[in-house]
Amino acid sequence: MATLLHIDSSVFPTDASSSRAVTDAFRRTWQEQHPAGTVIHRDLALNPVPHISAHAHTAGFADPATHTPEQAAAFAERVALIEELERADAVLIGAPMYNLTIPSTLKAWLDQVVLFGRTAGEAQSVKGTPVTVVASRGGAYGPGTPREGYEYVQNYLSAVLADFLGADLEFIVPELTMAPANPEMADLVPLFEASRERALDEAAARAKQLAQRLAA
């Protein structure tokens, strides 16, 4: 039975969050296709993980036998998150764009699970794990758009998840999500709606494909 690790980081509930709406569509399709599988849902907005501390950081580069009590406690929290990631057969991440980058709660989780010598570097204990990121954004930041140079979400997550961790990474990008709420973007609502429907379809297709592959 395959395990899906589902991580959400939007501060908004599903009915007000594009990233949550799309990750929810992915998860529902996954469960329909693979009812015997396991889903671990980590909601970083409701239950944020600690930002990495000096004790947790330095412990990652020291022999466990030399850890102080503070290092040992902080490192144990990192290891628990890393082991949860390592047990996952597939990972789903909701990563809305806030002020041009990812939510700080998601950055905190990444700082905890990126550990050179284990998940990153030569070891890459989660290498090849399929990771699907729903990278929603209020505007448009794709190639050829005026704000192309401000796209820091996909660039950053590609470096961390694909390059550092070796994950099999795929993005789903619902964009122009602010159009329905911003009168100045009213003429972009049809493009937002098309982007949203495309993202929902892509999420369902990706979930179905992964669930069937991992259940085989």
User: Which residues does the annotation place in the binding site for FMN?
Assistant: 10, 17-19, 97-100, 136-139
**Ranges assigned E (strand) in 75-142:** 90-94, 130-134
Nearest to 134 by CA among 48, 202, 181: 202
At residue 169, the 3 state secondary structure works out as strand
Give, as one character, the DSSP assignment of residue 46.
T
Nearest to 90 by CA among 11, 26, 148, 177: 26
The H-assigned helical ranges of 34-103 are 54-59, 69-87
At residue 203, the 3 state secondary structure works out as helix
Known binding residues: 10, 17-19, 97-100, 136-139
Report yes or no: 68 and 55 within 8 Å, Cβ to Cβ: yes
Report yes or no: 129 and 91 within 8 Å, Cβ to Cβ: yes
